[in-house]
Amino acid sequence: MLEINSLQNSRIKDAVRLRNRRERRSSGRTLIDGVRELTRALACDFPVTEVFFSEAVIDPADLAALRAVLHKHPQVEMIRVSEPVLEKLSFGDRLEGVVAVARCPVRNLADIPLGKNPLIVVLERVEKPGNLGALLRTLDAVGGDLLISADGQTDLYNPNVIRASSGAVFRVPVVEATTEETLTFLCQIGATICAARVDGSRVYTELDYRDQPIALVLGNEAEGLTDRWTGIDIEAIHLPMRGIADSLNVSTTAAVLLYEVLRQRSQS
């Protein structure tokens, strides 16, 4: 097994550069930081290429479990590193003893197999990875089928998205597309498009989400949806707000909507 103790090692420098969004974009790779996230990535056959671990940091039980999982993935290289090297690799302030490098799958909308009545979430121009990750966690919880980042302002496999989603980003299909591509796709599959707006004309509970493809569309944290998501073919919905705030956080709004869809579909 390869062992690296120098911060100047070329492989370490190469991995550290993945902390930068531009490098992740250009190389098509990302970092997976944490035992739980890595284990879930492997369980979903996410294309992990190498795993850096420090025996000085990782819990022995976690290491044993991780080695058992990696035994089924012989293509993944395990690399032992010193604690300072692992600290340099780690993306956030949580140090669990393991950081992995993985390739980021590139999917098109046409690549995603969908069932009869899929549940889709569209996020337009969302820029905060924490919101994207939290939403993915909820979409996974309700058994959703697809998340589309329309004109997105953060990368789908940002390490903070991975962490905030608790690894759900590895299970839920995620696709980047333009708003125009997204609208065309939703029309092709016959989806009922429900755009969440502060000034939406209908309360979200008034709609019937059963027995049809549903697309819940939410916008940028500061500015909401663009005008492209208006028209007679789009349902403008809102959540009742009784206080001084006129809207909820985008991931919270999505959670309310998604569980209403689940509630209705569970009763049908």
Q: How do residues 8-24 score in pLDDT, each as one tens digit?
A: 999 999 999 999 999 99
- pLDDT confidence of residue 221: 77
Token pair in block for residue 232: 């007679």
Give residue 198's pLDDT band: very low, low, confident or very high (50, 70, 90). Answer: very high
Tally of residues, the chain: 268
| Contact assessment for residue 36 and residue 165, using Cβ atoms and an 8 Å cutoff | no
- pLDDT confidence of residue 30: 97
- pLDDT confidence of residue 95: 84
* Enclosing H/E stretch for 184: helix 179-188
Give the relative orientation of helices 35-43 and 60-70 as an angle to the nearest 10 degrees: 20
Residue 68 pLDDT > 90? yes
Q: What value does the mean pLDDT take over residues 236-257?
A: 93
pTM (global) more than 0.85 = yes
For the beta carbon of residue 38, count every other beta carbon within 10 angstroms: 28
- pLDDT confidence of residue 20: 94
- pLDDT confidence of residue 91: 76
| Contact assessment for residue 260 and residue 209, using Cβ atoms and an 8 Å cutoff | yes
Residue found under tokens 């985008």: 250
Residue 246 pLDDT > 90? no
| Contact assessment for residue 99 and residue 89, using Cβ atoms and an 8 Å cutoff | yes
Nearest partner of 124 among 196, 232, 52, judged by Cα: 196
Give residue 1's pLDDT band: very low, low, confident or very high (50, 70, 90). Answer: confident
Q: What value does the mean pLDDT take over residues 63-90?
A: 94
- pLDDT confidence of residue 247: 86
Residue 223 pLDDT > 90? no
The dihedrals phi and psi of 97, each to the nearest 5 degrees, come to 100, 0
Q: 124 has which bridge partners?
A: 150
Nearest partner of 168 among 139, 137, 144, judged by Cα: 137
- pLDDT confidence of residue 222: 83
3-state secondary structure (DSSP) of residue 35: helix
Q: How far apart are CA 128 and CA 125, in angstroms?
A: 10
Q: How far apart are CA 119 and CA 150, in angstroms?
A: 16
Residue found under tokens 């950081």: 99
Give residue 210's pLDDT band: very low, low, confident or very high (50, 70, 90). Answer: very high
Question: What letter represents residue 67's amino acid?
Answer: R
Q: What pLDDT, in 10s, does the model give residues 37-60?
A: 999 999 999 999 999 999 999 999
Q: What pLDDT, in 10s, does the model give residues 78-119?
A: 999 999 999 999 876 778 899 999 999 999 999 999 999 999
Q: How far apart are CA 46 and CA 170, in angstroms?
A: 7
- pLDDT confidence of residue 40: 96
Mean pLDDT taken over the chain: 95
Q: How far apart are CA 255 and CA 138, in angstroms?
A: 6
3-state secondary structure (DSSP) of residue 58: coil
